[in-house]
Structure 1
Amino acid sequence: MSKQIGIVFAAAAFVLAWSSGFIVAKIGTEDVPVLTVLLWRFVPLALGLAIVLLLSGQWRNASRAQLRSQLVIGLFAQFGYVVFVYASVAVGISTGTTALIDAVQPLVIAALAGPMLHVRVPGAQWLGLGIGAVGVFLIVQSQFGSSDAPPIAYALPALAMVSLITATILERRSPHRSPVLLTLTVHATATTVLLAVLALATGAAVPPGDATFWLTTLFLALVPTLSAYGLYWWLLRRIGVTVLNALLFLVAPTTAVAGALLFGEPFTLLTAGGFLLSAAGVALVLVSDARGRVGARSRVSGPSRVSGRASGDHAGDASPRRAPDCARQAAR
């Protein structure tokens, strides 16, 4: 029970931390170029993570295959994702709409999960994802027309979505699993190097000297980057790809509410209705997943206990150790 409560709190923190990235991106890029904000968001983060990784000694156990795998994943998960998100906000697309377009990715993940990740998505979860998608569509309808961005600009948040989906699939298919600390360090370092090259090439590497800029970049480094991405990979390995991506439906309405309060972005009855549908869809996915896990455990542990008592050997002692792994595989 305590483990489940911890996962619930982690999921709530993930939604809030991920949502904050859209809001602070709008604040940070009002007077400063996108590349400048992003570069100085990642420089202190990469340095800090590298120091912690060295002190922890985890780098000694990292293989070249792990590093190569995480390098590729990081290019999509952080560099590709944040560049397109920040570009979206910078050209005038509202924070809510940017988050909402990204929120479509649970349906894409679910559609790809079966053939590419060998994950069975139950009918109840498909229904929940569909309800959440309708909620997102309603919120999008309430937000269109609130910016002067050209239609082609809406491809930017879509590309951000594709980047994160690609990273998620690569991570799930990779045989080289890495600790979260190593994962974040490699991702942040690779992103910092690429951003530095682009910033130097475009003359956007020099940061402004005002305190607001540094407070903004510090917040971006600690919350939507370190906390949100750390929770993303941590949750991915505990609740599965479908359930985690369903949580992204909640990022969209959360960002829309914050955008309405902070920036006067539209929030109507249609927006509120979309919020409720998104929440209902996520709840259905979570309930379906929980029932599936309980059912899988009962199917695996039941016969083992009977077999152990009947044979009189140690099979009954071994089955509890095997059951969680089998249950997780069955639940997927």
Structure 2
Amino acid sequence: MSLDRLAPAIFVLLWSTGWVVAKFGAIVSEPLTFLVIRYVAAAVLFAGLCLSARAPWPRDMRTIVHAVVSGAFLHGAYLGAVWWAIGEGVPAALSSIIAALQPLMTALAAPFFIGERLSGAQKAGICLGFLGVMIAVLPKLFGGGPEAVPVFAVLVNVLGMAAVTYGTIYQKQHLHTGDIRAIATLQYGGALIVTLPFALALETFHVDWGIGFLALLAWSVLGISMGAILLLLYLIRRGQVSRAASLIYLVPPIAALQAAAIFGEALTLPMILGTVIVVIGVYLTNRKGQPAPPAE
């Protein structure tokens, strides 16, 4: 079986663990502090991989700048917002469902930025996905009681989805060539530029150094920052932006089950119903059909 067929499933499985990692990260470290350490480790390892493989580095400043800027959005603003929101009380399962907003944002933005258009079935799928997210999120926002989540933290989480959406489109626009290992190295540099100032301003750089932290850091860097991100960059380069973004639809149910099993987070009826609708949306968005004509 080719990598093109396996890559989406592997990416979804790796990426879905990110919300569980964020929840654990808030236990063993301050969230932005953890991300700073993670970005430094990922950048160093990617740079070492590039040197050992003699990967070609971008020669023109424009490509370097584009890689840094895309990393600032894809990793820095996105993960910073999500990890901070989870640290402020947004359940990992709910945060993963909010992530399903990305395809809707991508569908709305892609025609203006890169001329992509979606078929009728894909539009219907994205609308269903948006409906599923609303069904899952709204009761948590307005239900009251001790389980209610902070509205501002949810808004920050949504802002993170807008950042990764723009980062995906930006990369598709400006990074058509170049070794993906070198691009990834520069992107983590861009992520560090965004995250470090916020960590310095909002946190004390507290870390509970130990086996738990080191194991979590190892998985974050090797499994997600390197493994999943290399697959994501591969998918973005090989396919349409909207199709790559719609893969995120498959993450919420998997991440919600992981959070329920590991942290005991409640899977409420609205959350279950919302994730079912989201899965239907990903089927409609990804099923094969005649593509819509490009925008004029």
What TM-score, normalized by structure 1, do the two folds share? 0.79
CA-to-partner distance for each residue in 1:19-48, whole Å, 9 max, x for gaps? 211111111112421232112222221111
* C-alpha spacing 1:27/1:174, structure 2 compared with 1 (3 Å): same
Cα distance, 1:141 vs. partner? Answer: 4.3
In 1: Cα distance, 2:11 partner to 2:258 partner: 16
* Corresponding residue number in structure 1 for 2:67: 70
Runs of 4+ in 1 over 3 A off after TM superposition: 59-62, 141-149, 192-208
CA-to-partner distance for each residue in 1:192-222, whole Å, 9 max, x for gaps? 3554555556674464331111111111112
Contact between 1:125 and 1:284, CA under 8 Å: does it hold in 2?
Answer: yes
- Structure 2 portions without partners, runs of 5+: none
* C-alpha spacing 1:42/1:175, structure 2 compared with 1 (3 Å): closer
Q: How does 1:232-247 map to 2 (within 5 A)?
A: 232-247=232-247
- Is 1:48–2:45 an aligned residue pair? yes
* Corresponding residue number in structure 1 for 2:93: 96
Contact between 2:58 and 2:182, CA under 8 Å: does it hold in 1?
Answer: no
- Structure 1 portions without partners, runs of 5+: 297-328
* Corresponding residue number in structure 2 for 1:30: 27
* Corresponding residue number in structure 2 for 1:128: 125
**Matched AA of 2:282:** V
* Corresponding residue number in structure 1 for 2:213: 213
Please give the secondary structure, in 2, of the residue aligned with 1:292: coil
* Corresponding residue number in structure 1 for 2:55: 58
Contact between 2:56 and 2:179, CA under 8 Å: does it hold in 1?
Answer: no
Cα distance, 1:95 vs. partner? Answer: 0.8
**Matched AA of 1:112:** A
* Corresponding residue number in structure 1 for 2:182: 182
Q: After the TM superposition, which of the residue ranges 219-228 and 188-197 deviates more from structure 2? A: 188-197
* Corresponding residue number in structure 2 for 1:10: 7
**Matched AA of 2:103:** P
* Corresponding residue number in structure 2 for 1:110: 107
What TM-score, normalized by structure 2, do the two folds share? 0.88
* Corresponding residue number in structure 1 for 2:259: 259
Aligned-pair Cα RMSD in Å: 2.5
Q: After the TM superposition, which of the residue ranges 276-285 and 103-112 deviates more from structure 2? A: 276-285
**Matched AA of 2:170:** L
Aligned residue pairs, count:
292
* Corresponding residue number in structure 1 for 2:229: 229
- Find the structure with the greater CA-based Rg: 1
Contact between 2:124 and 2:281, CA under 8 Å: does it hold in 1?
Answer: yes
